[in-house]
Amino acid sequence: MIDGALIKQFLELYGGSEEGIRIFQAPGRINLIGEHIDYNGGHVFPAALDMNTVVIARPNGKDEIRFAATDLPDRVCAKLDSLENYKGIKWGSYQCGVAYMLQREGYRLTGCDMLFHGTVPFGAGLSSSASIEVVTALCLAKLGGAKQLVMEDIAVLCQKAENEYVGMSCGIMDQFISAVGKKDHAIFLNCRTLEYEYVPLELGDYTIVITNTNAPHKLTDSQYNQRRSECERALAVINANGGAYQTLCEMGIAELESFRDCFQDEVLYRRARHCVTEEMRTILSLKYLSEGNLEMFGSLLKEANVSIRDDYEATGKELDAVFDIAEGIDGVIGSRMTGGGFGGCNISIVRKDKAEEFRQIMNEEYTKRIGYAPAFYQSGAGQGAAEVEKWR
Ligand code: GLA
């Protein structure tokens, strides 16, 4: 869809003229490595995608926000004086949660009409939800007259909306990268301090192929919340036995080992082991990627996948199939699940001249094993959230 078509749809829906219309967008993401450790005080290494959630918006002079999407029949009208009332709605609770949180934190809101359009595949683990939150926050804050937005604060606010309003206990990674992403770069983010650096994503003869398992969405949020609480329980076991740690990722592997016998529940120990080893791999990844040592970087991705599969148990048969198949394809130097897991996407680092072959073999083998086809995406590292003249 081109701008003209989106604006036409907006005008058909809300009437009026083009005057006052503004366009905002925020991207989805992949995470190179550092999975499920943002909420354990670790480092993560995400990059924004070229795929975005776009919002066409215009003030409406009323005391309400109306919103709709190009691909859904739902229409929502949220009153500015009762934003706390839209928690359970089928579609739109992310937007209402962000509006509610902006208001609670003292941002001025103005009534407006919004039309959402997304090119981030929905429910694929590429942070379509975070991109909706961040674009909503940016749009509403700007329309409300905010001048100098601190995008890092916007990310934290969006995470709070998702935790408190939507009820998903996500970490900070997705909102953060969607808010501050930079073209051709990944960010190396310390999730405890929120300090970060931009790292050029230079892969030379290699490219990242994203494989979507297309696995049906099953209880992803509740499994995610369960993992999070298992990590809290693991930390509690350690601290009840003489440890004094704020987060799991502060520990080295030898320290964790010294508490091994304190765990009656072996599962909790394995969850903690994933966090501790993943933090080490993530820090090493920064070194190898910066040095251009892609082979070593790739082998860390594989180790990370094994850890999240066996110790964290956050993959599932579909992601495991993609990983196994990728391992056997010529030209692949690294492969792992990305994002929350339990279905969703895999990223594989593949020689550019082998990428087409990768897709062919993966498509065939995966379909044979799982019974339906995967989908593939090719995306460079994109820009973070922004007001734009033309969306992409
Ligand atoms: C989801 C969450 C993130 C992060 C990842 C796993 O995407 O929203 O905060 O925890 O899972 O790394």
Contact 318, 375 (CB under 8 A): no
- The set of protein residues with a Cβ atom below 6 angstroms from ligand 1 is 31, 35-36, 38-39, 170-171, 173-174, 339-340
Choose which residue among 32, 174, 176 to substitute to test ligand 1 binding: the one with the highest number of ligand atoms within 8 A of its C-beta: 174
Cα 363 from chain centroid (whole Å): 24
206-378 CATH choice from 3.20.20.70, 3.30.70.890, 3.90.1150.10, 3.40.50.300: 3.30.70.890
Strand-pairing partners, residue 332, are 350
pLDDT at 388: 95
pLDDT at 116: 98
Helix axes 151-160, 173-180, angle to 10 degrees: 150
Residues with Cβ within 8 Å of 244's Cβ and at least 6 positions away in sequence, in order, are none
Nearest Cα residue to atom 9 of ligand 1: 171
Q: In angstroms, rounded to a whole number, what is the distance separating the alpha carbons of residues 187 and 44?
A: 8
pLDDT at 390: 77
> Which ligand 1 atom is nearest residue 224's CA?
11
Residues with Cβ within 8 Å of 326's Cβ and at least 6 positions away in sequence, in order, are 211, 332, 335, 346, 348, 358, 362
CA of 391: how far to CAs of 25, 27, 388, in Å? 7, 11, 6
Contact 355, 214 (CB under 8 A): no
Q: In angstroms, rounded to a whole number, what is the distance separating the alpha carbons of residues 289 and 285?
A: 6
Closest CA to 101 of 164, 19, 26: 164
Nearest Cα residue to atom 11 of ligand 1: 340
324 is catalytic: no
Q: To which H or E segment does residue 129 belong?
A: helix 128-143
pLDDT at 2: 57
Radius of gyration of the chain, Cα coordinates, nearest whole angstrom: 21
Q: In angstroms, rounded to a whole number, what is the distance separating the alpha carbons of residues 180 and 196?
A: 10
> Which ligand 1 atom is nearest residue 172's CA?
9
Q: How far is the CA of 136 from the centre of ligand 1 (A)?
A: 20
pLDDT at 376: 98
Q: In angstroms, rounded to a whole number, what is the distance separating the alpha carbons of residues 327 and 348?
A: 9
> Which ligand 1 atom is nearest residue 130's CA?
8
Domain ranges of the chain: 4-201+382-387, 206-378
pLDDT at 323: 98
Nearest Cα residue to atom 8 of ligand 1: 170
Q: How far is the CA of 16 from the centre of ligand 1 (A)?
A: 40
> Which ligand 1 atom is nearest residue 125's CA?
7
Q: To which H or E segment does residue 270 belong?
A: helix 266-291
pLDDT at 283: 98
Per-residue pLDDT tens, the chain, 392 aa: give them.
557 899 999 999 999 999 999 999 999 999 999 999 999 999 999 999 999 999 999 999 999 999 999 999 999 999 999 999 999 899 999 999 999 999 999 999 999 999 999 999 998 999 999 999 999 999 999 999 998 899 999 999 999 999 999 999 999 999 999 999 999 999 999 999 999 999 999 999 999 999 999 998 766 788 999 999 999 999 999 999 999 999 999 999 999 999 999 999 999 999 999 999 999 999 999 999 999 999 999 999 999 999 999 999 999 999 999 999 999 999 999 999 999 999 999 999 999 999 999 999 999 999 999 999 999 999 999 999 999 987 66
Nearest Cα residue to atom 5 of ligand 1: 340
pLDDT at 3: 72
pLDDT at 150: 98
**For 78, phi and psi rounded to 5 degrees?**
-105, 125
Q: How far is the CA of 8 from the centre of ligand 1 (A)?
A: 36
Sheet of strand 43-44: strand arrangement = 43-44, 185-190, 196-200
pLDDT at 1: 57
So what CATH class is 4-201+382-387?
alpha beta
Active-site annotation holder among 174, 221, 324, 330: 174
